């Protein structure tokens, strides 16, 4: 019984996958937090890009 329990504690076969999942999860959380914090600024920036493109299109006579 001790040997079986000892093998379970020494078995590290899934450790790399677990670490990878943790890293990916932290990156996803950071991206979501960044989006939530800067959401209005990003929308405003994209809106200004659209306006600038519209003005540029009107200036060329098309």
- Angle ∠(30,47,50) on CA atoms, nearest 5: 125
Which pTM value belongs to this model?
Answer: 0.52
Per residue in 1-34, pLDDT (tens digit) is 778 777 767 767 777 888 899 999 999 999 999 9
Tokens 């994209």, residue located: 46
Task: Give me the pLDDT at residue 60, please.
Answer: 57
Domain ranges of the chain: 14-57
Give yes or no for residue 42 having a pLDDT over 80. Answer: yes
Task: Give me the pLDDT at residue 57, please.
Answer: 66
CA distance linking residue 46 with residue 39, whole number of Å: 11
């Amino acid at each position: 019984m001790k040997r079986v329990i000892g093998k379970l504690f020494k078995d590290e076969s899934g450790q790399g996958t677990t670490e990878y999942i943790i890293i990916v999860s932290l990156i996803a959380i950071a991206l979501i937090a960044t989006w939530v914090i800067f959401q209005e600024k990003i929308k405003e920036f994209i809106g200004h890009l659209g306006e600038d493109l519209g003005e540029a299109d009107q200036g060329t006579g098309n």
